[in-house]
Amino acid sequence: MATAQDHSLGLVAEGTYKTFVAPTRFLEFKDVSLDWNKEVAQGEGLRVGSRVARAARRVVPAASGGGDFTVEAISKGLGLVWQACLGAGTSTLVSGSTYQQVFTLGDTPPSLTVQEGVVQAGGTVDAYSFTGCMVTDWELSVAQNEIAELKVSIDAGDLSTAQSYATPSYPSSPNLFHFGSATLTTGTLTAPTSTALASSITSTTNVRGFSVSVNNNLTLDRFNVGGAGRKAKPTVGLREISGSMDIEYDSSTYRDLVVNDNTLVGVVITLTGGALSAGVETLQVVLPAIKLDGELPKPDGTDLVVASVSFTGLDDGTNQPIWVVTRTADNAL
Would you give the DSSP letter of residue 27? -
Task: Please state, as a whole number, how many other Cβ atoms lie within 10 Å of the Cβ of residue 178.
Answer: 19
Q: State the DSSP code for 152.
A: E
State the amino acid at position 199 in one-letter form. S
* CA–CA distances in Å: residue 328 to residues 91, 171, 269, 285: 10, 11, 17, 15
CA angle 234, 240, 242 (to 5 degrees): 140
pLDDT tens digit at each of 333 positions of the chain: 899 999 999 999 999 999 999 999 999 999 999 999 999 999 999 999 999 999 999 999 999 999 999 999 999 999 999 999 999 999 999 999 999 999 999 998 899 999 999 999 999 999 999 999 999 999 999 999 999 999 999 999 999 999 999 999 999 999 999 999 999 999 999 999 999 999 999 999 999 999 999 999 999 999 999 999 999 999 999 999 999 999 999 999 999 999 999 899 999 999 999 999 999 999 999 999 999 998 899 998 999 999 999 999 999 999 999 999 999 999 999
For residue 86, how many other CB atoms are within 10 A of its CB?
23
